[in-house]
């Protein structure tokens, strides 16, 4: 079964997001823990949070994917910016205890000229401090497009962060794969999805792949641009998304749309992707090779 949703506004509270998700055919969703550009977070309404938890149980939702603000940078060259990111993420993880058992996704950061190795060490060090506070929440590193000085544009960089963070298990520290980002980073999910997942398994391990941001791209393979597009309008294309949503190694994970869309547009994309998941593969997916097939049991 395909579990799919989109980013929703938390302005009206937790339960409102759950009801809005159901209204567009979603059985998961993403939300920002606070303003995506940073700032203070709203006070948690415990009853509202509990009502959402009950709704998600009643309707068989997949885990929700909370998203940290874009502005946080655990590997900034400014100590005060790193401290702000660490403090904000710790607060977010504390707040996530109100909706336990879900995911907290974040962009690893930009080393701003310090070098990838320095960035990896800084991010890993911060995670060593943060992960013991995660409790029932799984923290997810997001795959990045590799633009500028972003860390996380290669699977090896995410693996290095995981190792630097102490190698916590996949229920504590995982990865969210963004289809636009990996495409723009140079991973060919259009023509060689099996190969990309085999490489992910070899470098990181499929057991750590916990969620998918399902976005088309405005740019060609390897452009390092990070410009999201609607599912039927980008360079990845609808046939490739048919293979992605049907791939056994990704089955059961929450798929989150981050395409430039309104609520009606998201409803249409959810219906489209559910149809692709339930019907014949439009592009004729290649058979799974051994390493990916073996990884399915632990993913």
Q: Which residues are within 8 A (CB) of 208 and not within 5 positions of it... i.e. 6 or more apart?
A: 162, 170, 173, 174, 175
> CA end-to-end span of the chain, whole Å?
15
Residue with the bigger pLDDT between 186 and 42: it is 186
Indicate whether 242 pLDDT > 50. yes
Indicate whether 114 pLDDT > 70. yes
Closest CA to 137 of 181, 178, 106: 106
- Residue 40's pLDDT is 78
Contact 137, 104 (CB under 8 A): yes
CA 101 to chain centre: 15
List b or e across 49-59, with b for residues whose CB sees 16 or more CB atoms inside 10 angstroms. Answer: bebbbebbeee
All structural domains of the chain: 3-296 (3.20.20.150)
Over residues 212-240, mean pLDDT? 96
- Three-state SS for 269? helix
Q: Which residues are within 8 A (CB) of 267 and not within 5 positions of it... i.e. 6 or more apart?
A: 23, 24, 25
Over residues 101-114, mean pLDDT? 97
Strand order in the sheet with 103-106: 3-6, 254-257, 209-214, 173-178, 138-142, 103-106, 65-67, 30-32
- 4-53, pLDDT tens digit by residue? 999 999 999 999 999 999 999 999 999 999 877 766 788 899 999 999 99
Burial tier of 47 (Cβ tally within 10 Å: 0-12, 13-18, 19+): exposed
CA 185 to chain centre: 16
Burial tier of 204 (Cβ tally within 10 Å: 0-12, 13-18, 19+): buried
Residue with the bigger pLDDT between 1 and 268: it is 268
Across all residues in the chain, what is the average pLDDT? 92
CA distance 60 to 123: 34
Closest CA to 177 of 250, 123, 122, 101: 250
% of the chain surpassing 90 pLDDT: 88
Indicate whether 106 pLDDT > 60. yes
- Residue 38's pLDDT is 63
Which pLDDT band holds residue 297 (cuts at 50, 70, 90)? Answer: very low
Which pLDDT band holds residue 87 (cuts at 50, 70, 90)? Answer: very high
Contact 241, 230 (CB under 8 A): no
How is residue 137 written in tokens? 């929440």
Indicate whether 281 pLDDT > 70. no
Which pTM value belongs to this model? 0.92
% of the chain surpassing 70 pLDDT: 92
Contact 211, 6 (CB under 8 A): no
- Residue 50's pLDDT is 98
Over residues 60-64, mean pLDDT? 98
- Residue 299's pLDDT is 29
How is residue 294 written in tokens? 């073996």
């Amino acid at each position: 079964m395909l579990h799919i949703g989109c980013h929703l506004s938390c302005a009206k509270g937790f339960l409102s997001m759950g009801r809005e998700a159901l209204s567009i055919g979603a059985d998961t969703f993403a939300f920002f823990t606070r303003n995506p550009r940073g700032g203070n977070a709203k006070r948690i309404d415990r009853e509202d949070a509990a009502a959402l938890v009950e709704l998600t149980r009643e309707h068989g939702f997949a885990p929700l994917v909370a998203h940290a603000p874009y502005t946080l940078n655990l590997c900034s060259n400014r100590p005060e910016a790193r401290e702000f990111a660490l403090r904000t993420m710790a607060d977010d993880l504390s707040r996530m205890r109100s909706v336990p058992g879900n995911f907290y996704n974040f962009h690893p950061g930009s080393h701003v000229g310090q070098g990838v190795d320095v960035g990896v060490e800084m991010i890993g060090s911060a995670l060593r401090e943060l992960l013991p506070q995660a409790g029932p929440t799984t923290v997810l590193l997001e795959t990045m497009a590799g633009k500028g000085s972003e860390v996380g544009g290669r699977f090896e960089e995410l693996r290095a962060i995981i190792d630097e963070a102490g190698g916590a298990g996949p229920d504590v520290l995982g990865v969210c794969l963004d289809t636009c980002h990996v495409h723009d980073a140079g991973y060919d999910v259009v023509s060689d999805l099996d190969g990309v997942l085999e490489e992910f398994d070899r470098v990181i391990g499929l057991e750590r792949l916990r969620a998918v941001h399902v976005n088309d791209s405005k740019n060609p393979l390897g452009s390092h641009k990070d410009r999201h597009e609607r599912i039927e309008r980008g360079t990845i294309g609808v046939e490739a998304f048919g293979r992605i949503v049907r791939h056994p190694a990704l089955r059961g994970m929450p798929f989150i749309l981050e395409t430039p869309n309104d609520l009606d547009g998201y409803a249409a994309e959810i219906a489209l992707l559910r149809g692709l998941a339930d019907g014949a593969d439009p592009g004729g997916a290649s058979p799974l090779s051994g390493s990916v097939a073996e990884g399915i049991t632990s993913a």
